[in-house]
Amino acid sequence: MTDDIDRLIGQVAPGDIAGLAGVEEEVWARIRERGARARMGQVRLAAIAFALVIGIANGGLMLVAPRPGPSELRVFTVSAGLSPFAGLEARG
């Protein structure tokens, strides 16, 4: 796409139409290729936007969801004895 079109056409001898026979097909092929790339970019953007919307909706639902209360069986958790106030919590 960076070729100088005037230079390329100037290289074809006058009256030599056979030299320009495949030019139109190549131009249309490049146009289709660029269109396909543009559509793929739009698909990627839509996928990213969809993932963002799903993530925000999921995060919003997690904020609204009821949180479980503290379990009475926290004595059996890994961090049960690690708190310096563990003895005070057991007394009430």
The reply to whether 9 falls in a domain is yes
The reply to whether 21 falls in a domain is yes
CB atoms within 10 A of CB 69: 6
Q: Where residue 68 falls among pLDDT bands split at 50, 70, 90? A: confident
The reply to whether 90 falls in a domain is no
Least confident of 9-13, 27-31, 50-54, 83-87: 83-87
Domain count, the chain: 1
Give CA angle at 31 (27, 35), nearest 5°: 170
Looking at residue 56, what is its pLDDT? 92
The reply to whether 92 falls in a domain is no
